[in-house]
Structure 1
Amino acid sequence: METKDTLDFTPDFAKAHAYFEARADYVPTPMTKINGPRGCVVLAKDETGRLGLGAFKALGAPYAVARILDHKWQEQTGEETLNSPAAKAFVASQTFVCASAGNHGVGVAAGARDAGAKARIHLADTVPESFAERLRALGATVVRSGAVYEDSVAAATKDAEISGDILLADGTWPGYTEIPKWVMEGYCVIAEELRAVFEISGEWPTHVYLQAGVGGLAAAMAHMIRLNWTEQPELLVVEPQAATCLQDSHKAGRPTQATGPESNMGRLDCKDPSIVAWSVLERCNVSYAMLTEKEGATAASQVTALGIPTTPSGAAGYGAIAHENDALLESDDYRPLVIISETAT
Structure 2
Amino acid sequence: MTQPDPLNFAPNFERAQEFFRAQENYEASPLRELSGPDGVTVRAKDETGRMGLGAFKALGAPYAVARILQQAWEQKTGETLTLERLNDADIRAFAATHTFVCASAGNHGMGVAAGARAMGAKARIHLAKTVPESFAERLRGLGAEVVRSGDVYDVSVAAAIADAGESGAVLLADGTWEGYTEIPKWVMEGYCVIAEEMRAEFETSGSWPTHVYLQAGVGGLAAAMAYMIRHNWAEQPELIVVEPEAAACLQASHNAGAPTRADGPDSSMGRLDCKEPSIVAWYALEKAGVSYVTLSEEEGETAASAVSTLGVETTPSGAAGYGALSKGAPVPDQGKAFRPLVIISEGAA
Q: Normalising by structure 2, what TM-score?
A: 0.96
Structure-2 change in CA distance of 1:247 and 1:4 (3 Å): farther
Tell me the distance in 1 between the aligned counterparts of 2:69 and 2:268: 35
SS for the counterpart of 1:322 is helix
**Alpha-carbon contact 1:257-1:271 (below 8 Å) kept:** yes
In structure 1, the residue matched to 2:153 is 149
Residue of structure 1 aligned with 2:194, choices 182, 190, 197: 190
Residue of structure 2 aligned with 1:225, choices 214, 229, 240: 229
1:103 deviation in Å? 0.3
In structure 2, the residue matched to 1:302 is 306
Tell me the distance in 2 between the aligned counterparts of 1:211 and 1:329: 25
Tell me the distance in 2 between the aligned counterparts of 1:326 and 1:273: 27
Could you tell me which amino acid in structure 1 is paired with residue 143 of structure 2?
G
In structure 1, the residue matched to 2:11 is 11
SS for the counterpart of 1:242 is helix
1:326 deviation in Å? 6.7
1:15 deviation in Å? 0.2
1:323 deviation in Å? 2.7
Tell me the distance in 2 between the aligned counterparts of 1:305 and 1:343: 13
Structure-2 change in CA distance of 1:207 and 1:116 (3 Å): same
Deviations 1:107-156, CA, capped at 9 Å, x for gaps:
00000001000000000000000000000000000000000000000000
Deviations 1:160-209, CA, capped at 9 Å, x for gaps:
00011100000000010000000000000000000000000011000000
- Unpaired runs of 5+ residues, structure 1, are none
What root-mean-square deviation, in Å, do the aligned CA atoms of Structure 1 and Structure 2 show? 1.4
1:83 deviation in Å? 5.3
> Is 1:52 the equivalent of 2:52?
yes
**Alpha-carbon contact 2:213-2:239 (below 8 Å) kept:** yes
Residue of structure 2 aligned with 1:280, choices 269, 281, 284: 284
Residue of structure 1 aligned with 2:171, choices 159, 164, 167: 167
SS for the counterpart of 1:283 is helix
Tell me the distance in 2 between the aligned counterparts of 1:4 and 1:73: 23
Deviations 1:65-110, CA, capped at 9 Å, x for gaps:
0000000011111122345544322111100000000000000000
Tell me the distance in 2 between the aligned counterparts of 1:254 and 1:326: 28
1:317 deviation in Å? 0.1
In structure 2, the residue matched to 1:340 is 344
Q: List structure 1 runs of 4+ shifted beyond 6 angstroms.
A: 329-332
- Unpaired runs of 5+ residues, structure 2, are none
**Alpha-carbon contact 1:39-1:329 (below 8 Å) kept:** no
Could you tell me which amino acid in structure 2 is paired with residue 300 of structure 1?
A
Could you tell me which amino acid in structure 1 is paired with residue 125 of structure 2?
I
In structure 1, the residue matched to 2:42 is 42
Tell me the distance in 2 between the aligned counterparts of 1:329 and 1:295: 26
Tell me the distance in 2 between the aligned counterparts of 1:312 and 1:74: 42
Tell me the distance in 1 between the aligned counterparts of 2:148 and 2:174: 18
Identical counterparts, % of pairs: 68
